[in-house]
Amino acid sequence: MADDTLNDVLIDRLRSFLSKPNENLDGIRSAAARLHSRCASQDKATRERTLERVWRRHDGAIPLVLSLLESVRDQVTCCSLAGILHECVSPRAVKYRSPALSQLTSLNATQLIIKLLMQLSGKESQISDMLLYELVWIIAQLSQKDSKFSVKVRLTGSARTFHNILRLHYNNPKLLYPLLIVFKSLSRNVTTSTVLVKDGIVSTMEKVIVSIGYSPSPKLRLSLNVMHSLTRSKLCCTKMAKEDFVPLLLRIFERWERYNGKMRLRILTYTIITLKHLSNTKIGRKAIKSSNGLNLLYKFCVLCPNDRTYDSLLPRVASIIGTCMDKKVLPIDTTGPVLFSLPVLKTENSDTSDNTTGSGMRTSSSRETTPSADGSVAESFDNNDDDDDDASDKTQESDAGHGPYAIPPPILRDMDDLCQYAAFFQENVVTSNQEARTFEEKCIPRAKSYQEFGTHGCDSLGEHRDYWLINDRDGLRSDSYLGSCHLQHQEPSNDENSFWQKEVERRLNNYMRTVRSHSSCSCYDVYKREMTWKASSDPAMNSNLQNSLHMMGLTILSDIPKHSSVHYAYCAIASKVNTVYPVVKVAYPDMVGGDGSGQLYPLHIKDRKVCRAKLMTSVERAVHPHLLLDRVVYDLDGLIQQDAIAKGNDSGEKHLYNIDERRVGHRDLLKHHLLFESRFESGNLRKVVQIGLHEYELILLPDVNSVKHHQWFYFEVSNMEANVTYTFNIVNCEKQNSQFNYGMKPIMYSVIEAKEGRPGWVRAGSDICYYRNNYQNLHGRSRSWYLTTSFSMTFPHDNDVCYIAYHFPYPYSLLMTQIWKWSLSVDPSLIYFRTDCLCYSLNNNETPLLTITSPDMESNRIKDREVVFLTARVHPGESNASWVMHGTIQYLLSNAPAAIMVRNKFVFKIVPMLNMEGVINGCHRCGLSDEDLNRRWSRPNQYLHPVIYHSKGLIEYCARIMNKAPFMFCDYHGHSRRKNVFLYGCCNAGSWNQVDRSNSDDPVDYLMLPYLMQHFSKAFNLQACNFRVERMREATARVTIWREFGVKRSYTMESSFCGCDQGFYQGYHLDTIHLKEIGANFCEAMACLKDEGGWKADITPEEAARLAGLTSKEQLDESPPMSEISDNSDFSSDEDFH
């Protein structure tokens, strides 16, 4: 009690002198000295009671001490006052340190101490060492707590002051440690570190390290930490190389075996990272090599302890060795083997409206935009078409405007232009017989003969062409982007059914050509009306009628007989698909259905010893390249050239098939290596080099017209021996990390296993590792390198034909085959199912649009139902998105109670494959225009991005013409770096834009579906969901549909390529059966949203608060947990993830 009274008396005395501090120096000096001695007392009880009294916020002792410190001019008194603050923030004041630091930061103590240091350092009389020590110690502690410390130093211009103090006192062991803590914080800021480098910090730090010596100590660790941060600047690396700092670093590194414990690991880490930064500059690499650095680094790789704690160092050292050695590039041409010629767009320097508004192309200009030599687009087509590929932050921000309110206004299309999409909402038109006759008289012109229109489509309309294309404002033929519903002409037959079928086909073709120009009426109803009366009197024709109704919009399916086998249908469809790369066969797994085995496969457990061995092998091969076998066993570039020569005299149609079942069991005796093939749909393999007896390096194709985006792979191997381990190294991967490091396995399909009754893709492979190799990526960032996906496989049978893929393939032909199968199985009395061709892609392939709902009923009219838009596969490498969409469509066409409920409530408009050109040609990210189509939704170009343009047009038609914004939009994706299934949504509270944040929304609207998915789906992870609207994502489908059309339930559903780390499937991969289950779960969750008014009214305030908790400010400020990404992978690159 007496101690508390004495503390109060001392603080009150200091407070009484505050008004005139310099007139009462003796009293202040005495009280401050006594209070300081009590704060630093050896008696623990006295010290703790005094510190508790000082830092107590409501008593104002700390503000009092700061005020006196600022105003008193006596250095002895200042030393006592600073000592009081020092004791408050001292590490031994465990209980009081954190609140004291927080209070000092809030009181702007940082600026005050910096100002005081600058004043005292500028005087002619030198500052006392004790006062300097106290002030530097306080500022060292504040620098670790104050997040704005570097900014405050920059604004006060005190960086050189601190450097001057270090330059004068680098030999002072007592002062050096807190100074290094300060420089540790300053070196992390780009601006202050640049100022320090220009002021000569490199030479000063060299003196500091020399004075410290090479013995392990906290000061040496801090010094290396400072250098590790400073060398992120190329200027610092250059100065270090010029001032012979590199040999000093290497001497420290050479003595690593003399260090012990955690200190050894930290000193090694900072030294290696500093050397890594130096190796990124030419002069740094030269300095490392001239100082015998490569031998020291190689010696470390050989002698590195076989301990998990060193696994993060080994890939960094290997990276330095590879960087410093002579440049090694992939043995392929820099461009792809085939370039696709994009449409040539002409522009004019006028104020005409943007070409994305549907008002026509610009025609008068001397400039043309064409693909450049490397396959990229040489110039932007329009100022409004500048969304960046792969969402570069800088470009996206410029696209979004500047300032908190700058969002570019949406580009609305002409109302007349939007009317073309009426043809895709035929289910909404229900006419009487009289209306039908009137419509037929007005809209269906009478052709002279069926042959005039039925054989050649819209290109052979002859004298009637101007009539059919009356609304073709866009300068291109209408059938290049509207639904092509003409059916292939069939030879006349004496059979009565053929006569009626031919007559209806004639009328349908005539009508659809009119729809392309008028686009205001329903061809479905006209077709159905003219066919139904005949079918009612001829039951044999009824099934043919219904199939025609379902598939009338897709010409690729029009001539496949109803009773064909699935194998025949798939081959017939694949033979009609237009490809950029030549194809010679259909892949066996896709032809037979493409499903997985349906088993649960556990995640792979990475063997760190195997990965270390592979990394060391990579280093050995970089140092001794002559040890490689180096035999090319597959070269797509050469095969394409041979194919071009062979086809010079052959202009016939292609007929694709598969004979793998006949190939198995036969061996090529002249070749003693594996045989590879990828010239089939979605295949991706460019070159294979045999480097060992059973080891191969594989090089993947880039996306078409691109030199990057390597991740997806799909190829065939044969000529193997059973029970022999083969190693495959895919050496041109680009992502800095991969799920292959966290349990993911590739998949394998065996034809022999399928023949023996065990069909399906299986997870296979061992010794899986993902690491940086020695091949330089000439098209990446400066001095960037490719990464290797390495795995080994043992095949179960001799001379089998096996397929290996990144994930379960789902090619375009498989989708069209599934649509054909669904069309044959649907009961039209229960389900309204229609397929249309939304548009043609750049390579003239059809884009299927599916419409699913219940048939029109008097009590539940189709036109009164809500519309739901679903899309998938905008990124072609995300094949899991197609399997989830497959599950959704399959469930919607089933008789499950929830499926019936959602069909009765909603009309589903589904575009199951947005980027079919990328899928067909084995691309990973982009299509034929080398653009990420999910960054083109805000301003799609109708000629370069036709599928996105017309998919958005459908939604705009629904919102503006029908005055019915979609109830929901969901874009299905796959995720390569996270596990589980989760949703991205949009909310005002999570938006980057201040205007959005000022408008409140109802969290229940966008959060109910994720909560329901958590209930229905075993693979769904609610905690991974995110509802932030980021500036760089403004051009994505999710954000564009939310912002431009007011769709509050606008989602992206992500499913992992790998598997799950929570829930029922924790520790297991996801198979196709599980992916389809997720699609079905999505429909079940939607069924619970059926009566929105009812369930929203029943939600209690407590439930609403719980739902809103998912988008609380705390959760919006933090990204969802990404343990895989944040984990410092043992054998992945040390660079930032992308």
Residues involved in catalysis: 1054
- Residue 129, CB-side half-sphere exposure with 13 Å CA sphere: 8
1002 phi, psi to nearest 5 deg: -90, 110
Among residues 420, 415, 416, the alpha carbon closest in space to that of 517 is found at 420
CA distance 117 to 131: 10
CA distance 162 to 196: 9
The residues pairing with 804 across neighbouring beta strands, listed in sequence order, are 715, 748
Among residues 273, 367, 376, 287, the alpha carbon closest in space to that of 324 is found at 287
CB 807 within 8 A of CB 973: no
CA distance 149 to 156: 11
CA distance 579 to 581: 6
Tally: H helices and E strands in the chain: 47, 20
Query: How far is Cα of residue 786 from the mean position of the Cα atoms in its chain?
Result: 18
Cα dihedral angle (180, 183, 187, 188), rounded to 10 degrees? 90
The residues pairing with 262 across neighbouring beta strands, listed in sequence order, are none
CA distance 93 to 91: 5
Per-residue b/e over 493-518, b at no fewer than 16 CB within 10 Å? eeeeeeebbbebbbbbbbbbbbbbbb
- Residue whose token pair is 């008194």: 77
CA distance 809 to 714: 8
CA distance 601 to 765: 12
**Degrees, nearest 5: CA angle 503-506-508:** 110
In this structure, the strands spanning 832-840 and 784-794 are unpaired
Collapsed DSSP state (helix, strand, coil) of residue 731: strand
In this structure, the strands spanning 725-733 and 784-794 are antiparallel
**Integer angstrom CA distances of residue 1009 from 303, 985, 1083, 1118:** 55, 10, 10, 21
Helix residue spans in 400-432 (DSSP H):
415-418
CB 768 within 8 A of CB 604: yes
896 phi, psi to nearest 5 deg: -65, 145
Residue 88 tokens, joined = 């408050």
Query: How far is Cα of residue 23 from the mean position of the Cα atoms in its chain?
Result: 67
**Integer angstrom CA distances of residue 811 from 306, 499, 593:** 45, 37, 11
CB 467 within 8 A of CB 457: no
Query: How far is Cα of residue 1013 from the mean position of the Cα atoms in its chain?
Result: 22
DSSP 553-618: T-GGGTTS-TT--HHHHHHHHHHH---SS------HHHHTT--B-----BPP---HHHHHHHHHHH
**Integer angstrom CA distances of residue 367 from 493, 942, 1049:** 54, 19, 43
Task: Kindly calculate the radius of gyration of the chain based on its CA atoms and give it in whole angstroms.
Answer: 36
CA distance 679 to 642: 13
CB 374 within 8 A of CB 335: yes
CA distance 102 to 147: 11
User: Which amino acid, residue 873?
Assistant: R
